[in-house]
């Protein structure tokens, strides 16, 4: 399966076999294009996808030593994400499918992340997924391929967005998450008193806007050299995020076990899953709850095309039909369309 990923600021192509072997993959980052603006600029992202995608596809095909006629299908992310970027990947994938008479698979980017643990190693359903990235923060019960129940989501910012914005106000540049994690490794997480949004509250929803604002106020109040307080503030923020994620996930474990008595695995996926502190705290939670803990290799935490090709293979194996070449791209595409809106739900006493 040829997979294409263009939902945000990584352009990616990959060839994956049905047995989970990633035959070839390429990811082109757009950090240089977006760094001057401190974040992703949708128009720049779309243009960069146009310039890079054909070359990446040619590279993975050459590395695999295969032709399009030998493929069993083409898969592209068609949502959620930035419309311009999604259109580049979808149109390219559809054109290849049409020209070579191949099945086309329109893949939900979030499903790609949710199924990534099964690409790495056997991970029987059901399992609980904490999906944390720049654009998403959700707790999802994965019951089987194509059937997901959202237990919690953010009522304001995604956790990855909070990392990037806090890094920006600390002057760390873009992308902020990795830079903040490096700075935090030298800091004292107990120096500054920071809130743990919704800690101990009922439900599994998240909130990070108040934490982000608290960091802003503390940063503005500092008068000494940045070297004496920035690392401590970064460490305090990271610790607050990790504690919040653990608290909300612990509650989701209880809820998920009621829904799926056979639950025995906790998965973390998405770009923030690369954060060592977050991974360690979640691994400790899983151990305390008697759950197996799964986290993708670092190269598959962020956006990649291997997970898109794998999701298509999983859907084919589960009996889903390929998608029409008229399949739309969608800026929003919930994994669980029946989930109730979270606005306000997480702040009830």
DSSP state of 9: S
Q: Provide the pLDDT for residue 349.
A: 25
Chain segment 188-238, per-residue pLDDT in tens:
999 999 999 999 899 999 999 999 999 999 999 998 888 889 999 999 999
Mean pLDDT along residues 33-40 = 83
DSSP state of 325: T
* CA–CA distance, 288 with 54 (Å, rounded to integer): 47
The maximal CA–CA distance of the chain, rounded, in angstroms, is 65
CATH T-level fold of 2-114+300-317 = Nucleotidyltransferase; domain 5 (3.30.420)
Which SS3 state, helix, strand or coil, does residue 312 take?
helix
* CA–CA distance, 194 with 236 (Å, rounded to integer): 7
Start-end ranges of CATH 3.30.420.40 in the chain? 2-114+300-317, 125-296+341-347
CB proximity list for 220: less than 8 A, separation 6 or greater: none
Mean pLDDT, the chain, rounded, equals 94
Chain segment 229-242, per-residue pLDDT in tens:
999 999 999 999 99
β-strands 127-132, 265-269 pairing: parallel
* CA–CA distance, 13 with 335 (Å, rounded to integer): 23
- Select from 199, 204, 207 the least CA-distant residue to 258: 204
- Select from 240, 235, 255, 245 the least CA-distant residue to 285: 245
For a pLDDT cut of 70, what percent of the chain falls above it? 98
Question: How does residue 343 score in pLDDT terms, banded at 50, 70 and 90?
Answer: low
- Select from 162, 167, 187 the least CA-distant residue to 35: 167
Which SS3 state, helix, strand or coil, does residue 83 take?
helix
- Count the residues in the chain: 349
For a pLDDT cut of 90, what percent of the chain falls above it? 87
- Whole-structure pTM value: 0.94
Helices (H), 223-271: 230-259
CATH T-level fold of 125-296+341-347 = Nucleotidyltransferase; domain 5 (3.30.420)
Q: Are 119 and 104 in contact (CB under 8 A)?
A: no
Which SS3 state, helix, strand or coil, does residue 265 take?
strand
């Amino acid at each position: 399966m040829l997979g294409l990923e263009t939902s945000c600021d990584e352009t990616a192509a990959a060839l994956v076999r049905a047995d989970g072997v990633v035959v070839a993959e390429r990811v082109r980052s757009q950090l240089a294009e977006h760094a001057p603006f401190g974040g992703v600029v949708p128009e720049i992202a779309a243009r960069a996808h146009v310039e890079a995608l054909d070359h990446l596809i040619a590279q993975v095909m050459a590395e695999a030593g295969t032709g399009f006629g030998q493929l069993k299908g083409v898969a592209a992310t068609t949502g959620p994400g930035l419309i311009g970027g999604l259109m580049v990947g979808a149109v390219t994938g559809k054109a290849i499918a049409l020209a070579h008479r191949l099945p086309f698979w329109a893949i939900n980017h979030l499903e790609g992340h949710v199924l990534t643990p099964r690409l790495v190693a056997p991970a029987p359903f059901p399992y609980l997924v904490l999906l944390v990235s720049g654009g998403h923060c959700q707790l999802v019960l994965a019951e089987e391929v194509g059937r997901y129940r959202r237990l919690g989501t953010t009522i304001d910012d995604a956790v990855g967005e909070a990392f990037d914005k806090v890094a920006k106000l600390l002057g760390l540049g873009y992308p902020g998450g990795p830079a903040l994690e490096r700075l935090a490794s030298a800091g004292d997480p107990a120096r500054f008193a920071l809130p743990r949004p919704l800690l101990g509250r009922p439900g599994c929803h998240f909130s990070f806007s108040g934490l982000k604002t608290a960091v802003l106020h503390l940063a503005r109040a500092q008068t000494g050299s940045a070297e004496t307080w920035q690392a401590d503030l970064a460490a305090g923020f990271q610790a607050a995020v990790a504690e919040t994620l653990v608290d909300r996930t612990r509650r989701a474990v209880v809820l998920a076990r009621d829904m799926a008595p056979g639950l025995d695995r906790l998965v973390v996926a998405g770009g923030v899953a690369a954060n060592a502190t977050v991974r360690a705290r979640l691994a400790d939670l899983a151990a305390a709850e008697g759950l197996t803990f799964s986290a993708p290799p670092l190269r598959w935490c962020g956006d990649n095309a291997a997970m898109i090709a794998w999701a298509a293979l999983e859907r084919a194996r589960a009996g889903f039909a390929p998608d029409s070449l008229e399949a739309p791209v969608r800026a929003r595409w919930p994994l669980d369309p029946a989930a109730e809106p979270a606005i306000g739900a997480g702040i009830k006493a």
